[in-house]
Amino acid sequence: MEDFSTNPIYLEIRKKFLESSESNRATLLALISGCLDHFPQPLKSPYLGTNREIDFSFVKKYENLPTHPQPASDVLNGAINFFQRSILWHSPQALQNITPPPLLEAVAVSTIANLYNLNLLWDYVSAGVQEAEQQIVRQISRLAGWTGDSDGVFTYGGKGCLTYAIRIGLNRCCPQATKEGINGIAPVVITTKFNHYIIESVCAWLGIGKDACVRVKTHADETIDLNDFKNTLNRVLSEKKPIACIILSGGSTINLNIDRVDSVRNIIEEICSHFKLSYKPFIYFDTVVSWPWLFYKDYDFEKNEIEIPKEILPRIKKVVELLRTAEYADAIGTDFHKIGFAPYNNSAFFVKNKAELHSVVSDASIIRERGVFGNNFLQHHTIEHSRSAAPVMAAWTILQSLGVQGFRMYLAQMMIVGDVFRNILPKYGFELLNPQSLCYASVYYPIPPQGPKNFNEMYDGQVKDTNYATQYIYELSKYFSLGGNGSFDAVDVGFLKNLSKSKLGADMSALRIFPMSPHITTKEADHLAHQLGEMKEKFDREFTYIKSDAPEVVHK
Ligand SMILES: Cc1ncc(COP(=O)(O)O)c(C=O)c1O
C-alpha cells in the first residue's frame, strides 16, 4: 500500500519534528530566537512590546482552523501576539506580585524535558527524573527538620499541595473514605481567618463542601489565636466531627505571618487525649511562600557571614525561628513558582510519613518501596496521572545553580530593596499598611485628594467614600503602568481591590509593591519610589472621579 511519505503536505508536517538523527536540533533554537526577535528589546519598561491595552483584533484571523499545514514562522508570528504586554518579571519596574523571573537555566532544562517529553508517572518513560524528584524530597525534608521516612511529589501549585494535605488528612479521620467515601459524615478543616482563600475551594473539590472549612480568629499580626483554636477544637470534637486537616500559615505573600506549629501541636495533643480521639489530626504547614527562608536555618546570625544589614537581620532571624517549627508538621509545601525562580507550574508537596502519601487512595496502609528501574509507578498516589518532568528538572537545576548562599543573598537583597520603598513612599502620601511585615512586600493606601485621609477613616466611611478611593487607586495604578502618560518610567504595581472590608462591608483597596527582579538595586528602588511619588502628585492634580464600571464596589 502506498503511504504518504512522499506527499508534499505530509513532508511539510515531518519538517516540524526533530529528525531521528536530531540533525536539525538548531531548528529549535532558531524557532525560539525567531519568537524573541519579534518584540523590540524592552527599553526601561516592565512590559513586552506594549504597555497599552492589548489589541485583540488579530485573534479573528485565526478563528477558523487552517485546512493545510502552515509555515512555522507564520504560526509563531501569530502565537506571539498573545504575549504582547507580558509583564517582564526580570524588570526592576515589575513590582506587582510574587511571580519570579525564571532562571534561564531552568527555562533551558524545562525545554529539554519538554523536547524529550518525559512523563513522571512511570520511571521507564521519564529517564532518571524520578531520582531527581527523590533527591529534592531528601533536601527539603532535611530543611524541614524531618529525619525519618518522608516523601513528596511535585504538583500543580500551592492549591495542589493543600489538596494533598486535606485528602491525606481525611484518611486519618475517616479511614473508610477511600473505599466508601464519606457517606454523610461531615469532616471539618480547621484553619485561620488569614489563611489562603482557596481552602474553601479545595474543600469543595474534595466533596466535603466549603462549609467544612472552619476559620479560627487571629491576632493583629495575623497569626493564630490559640485560645480561639482551643475553643474551636473543643467545640468540633464535642460535636463529634472528624478533623480532616489543620492548616497553619507558614507565611502569606504580604506579611509572612507564621503560626508556631509546636504550640498548635501541644494543644492538639492535650485536647485529643482528653477526647480519647483514635487519630491525630493531620497538620499542614503552608510554607509555599516562605520555604526559601529555610536556607537560613544553619546561618550563624552572630557571625553574619554575608553581612546582612542590622536593620534586616532580626526579621530574617525571626522568620527562621518560626519556620523551624515545621519539624512538628505532618506536611509542608514549596512553590518553586513563587520565590523559587521556576516557570509555572512548579510546586512540591512533602509529607513526613511516606506511608500516608503512598496509601492516599489505597484500601490499606502501604509503603511503595522503590524498585528496579522500570518498576516505579507513581500515578497510584499522585493527583495527576501523567505528570511533566519539566518542573522537577527546573527545580533541581535552580537548587543546584543558586545554592544556599544564592538564595540567602537574594532574599536579603529583596528585603533591603523593599525597605527603600517603605521609607520613601509615605513621604508622598502613601500610607504604609504593613509596617510590621516580615516579608519585603509592602502595601499602601495612596491617599486620594478628596477621599478618606487614612485607611482607618475609610473603614468608618460611607460606601461612596470607599468607592471613590477604590476608583482612584485603580486609575492611579493604570497611570503608573503608563508611566504617567509617558512623562515617567512605567511601573507595574499590584492593585488589591479587596485588601479588607469597611465597617459597611465595602471593599477597601490598596496598592502592593513586591520587588522580585534580581536586577533591582537600592539606587533603582530609590529612583522608582520617587517616580511613583511624583506620578501620584501629578495624577492628584488631574484626577476627577468618574463613576466607571471598572472596579466599582457594590455594597454587599
Ligand atoms: C500561602 C499560600 N498558599 C497557597 C497558595 C496557592 O498557590 P498556587 O497559586 O500556586 O496554587 C498561595 C498563593 O498565593 C499562597 O500564598
* Diameter of the chain measured on Cα atoms: 82
Does position 365 have pLDDT exceeding 80, yes or no? yes
18: region left, alpha or beta (phi > 0 left; psi from -120 to 50 alpha): beta
Point out the ligand 1 atom lying closest to the alpha carbon of residue 337. Answer: 10
Look at ligand 1, atom 12, and give the residue with the nearest C-alpha.
158
CA dihedral (216, 218, 224, 225) positive or negative: negative
Point out the ligand 1 atom lying closest to the alpha carbon of residue 159. Answer: 11
Q: What pLDDT is recorded for position 451? A: 87
Q: pLDDT digits over 332-360, tens only?
A: 999 999 999 999 999 999 999 999 999 99
Residue 247, helix vs strand vs coil? strand
Distance 255 CA to ligand 1 centre (A): 14
At 427, the pLDDT band (50, 70, 90 cuts) reads very high
At the topology level, CATH places domain 410-542 in: Aspartate Aminotransferase, domain 1 (3.90.1150)
Q: What pLDDT is recorded for position 39? A: 87
The predicted model gives 175-191 an average pLDDT of 94
Tell me how far apart the alpha carbons of residues 315 and 340 are, in angstroms, rounded to a whole number: 20
The response to whether residue 287 sits with its C-beta less than 6 Å from ligand 1 reads no
Bridge partners for 246 per DSSP: 190, 283
pTM of the model: 0.96
The response to whether residue 347 sits with its C-beta less than 6 Å from ligand 1 reads yes
Tell me how far apart the alpha carbons of residues 494 and 434 are, in angstroms, rounded to a whole number: 15
Q: What pLDDT is recorded for position 556? A: 30
Q: Which of 155, 194, 259, 335 to mutate to test the pocket of ligand 1 (most atoms within 8 A of CB)?
A: 335
Does position 92 have pLDDT exceeding 80, yes or no? yes
What are the residue boundaries of the structural domains of the chain, listed by start?
8-86, 112-407, 410-542
Look at ligand 1, atom 7, and give the residue with the nearest C-alpha.
158
Q: Which of 99, 161, 194, 288 to mutate to test the pocket of ligand 1 (most atoms within 8 A of CB)?
A: 288
Distance 14 CA to ligand 1 centre (A): 41
The predicted model gives 11-25 an average pLDDT of 96
Q: pLDDT digits over 445-488, tens only?
A: 999 998 899 999 999 999 989 999 999 999 999 999 999 998 99
Residue 303, helix vs strand vs coil? coil
Look at ligand 1, atom 14, and give the residue with the nearest C-alpha.
253
Does position 555 have pLDDT exceeding 80, yes or no? no
Distance 546 CA to ligand 1 centre (A): 35
Q: Is the peptide bond before 345 cis (omega within 30 degrees of 0)?
A: yes
Residue among 482, 474, 475, 470 at smallest CA distance from 531: 482
Contact 95, 493 (CB under 8 A): yes
CA of residue 199 relative to chain centroid, distance: 14
The predicted model gives 240-250 an average pLDDT of 98
Q: Which of 191, 195, 198 to mutate to test the pocket of ligand 1 (most atoms within 8 A of CB)?
A: 198
Point out the ligand 1 atom lying closest to the alpha carbon of residue 98. Answer: 14
Look at ligand 1, atom 13, and give the residue with the nearest C-alpha.
158
Distance 389 CA to ligand 1 centre (A): 21
Distance 195 CA to ligand 1 centre (A): 10
Q: pLDDT digits over 369-390, tens only?
A: 999 999 999 999 999 999 999 9
Residue 315, helix vs strand vs coil? helix
Residue among 127, 43, 46 at smallest CA distance from 86: 46
Q: pLDDT digits over 201-243, tens only?
A: 999 999 999 999 999 999 999 999 999 999 999 999 999 999 9
* Set of cell numbers at residue 24: 536539525
Point out the ligand 1 atom lying closest to the alpha carbon of residue 162. Answer: 4
Contact 322, 255 (CB under 8 A): no
Q: Which of 85-94, 170-179, 208-217, 540-549 has the lowest mean pLDDT?
A: 540-549
Q: What percent of the chain has pLDDT over 70?
A: 98
Contact 155, 167 (CB under 8 A): no
The response to whether residue 196 sits with its C-beta less than 6 Å from ligand 1 reads yes
Does position 24 have pLDDT exceeding 80, yes or no? yes
Does position 85 have pLDDT exceeding 60, yes or no? yes
The response to whether residue 288 sits with its C-beta less than 6 Å from ligand 1 reads yes
Q: What pLDDT is recorded for position 166? A: 98
Q: Is the peptide bond before 81 cis (omega within 30 degrees of 0)?
A: no
The predicted model gives 392-398 an average pLDDT of 98
Does position 550 have pLDDT exceeding 50, yes or no? no
Q: Which of 256, 285, 289 to mutate to test the pocket of ligand 1 (most atoms within 8 A of CB)?
A: 289
Residue 385, helix vs strand vs coil? coil
Q: Which of 191, 196, 205, 338 to mutate to test the pocket of ligand 1 (most atoms within 8 A of CB)?
A: 196
The response to whether residue 315 sits with its C-beta less than 6 Å from ligand 1 reads no
Q: What pLDDT is recorded for position 53? A: 87
Q: What percent of the chain has pLDDT over 90?
A: 92
Mean pLDDT of the chain: 95
Architecture in CATH of 112-407: 3-Layer(aba) Sandwich (3.40)
Distance 419 CA to ligand 1 centre (A): 24
What is the bridge-based pairing of β-strands 188-192 and 94-95? unpaired
Contact 546, 539 (CB under 8 A): no
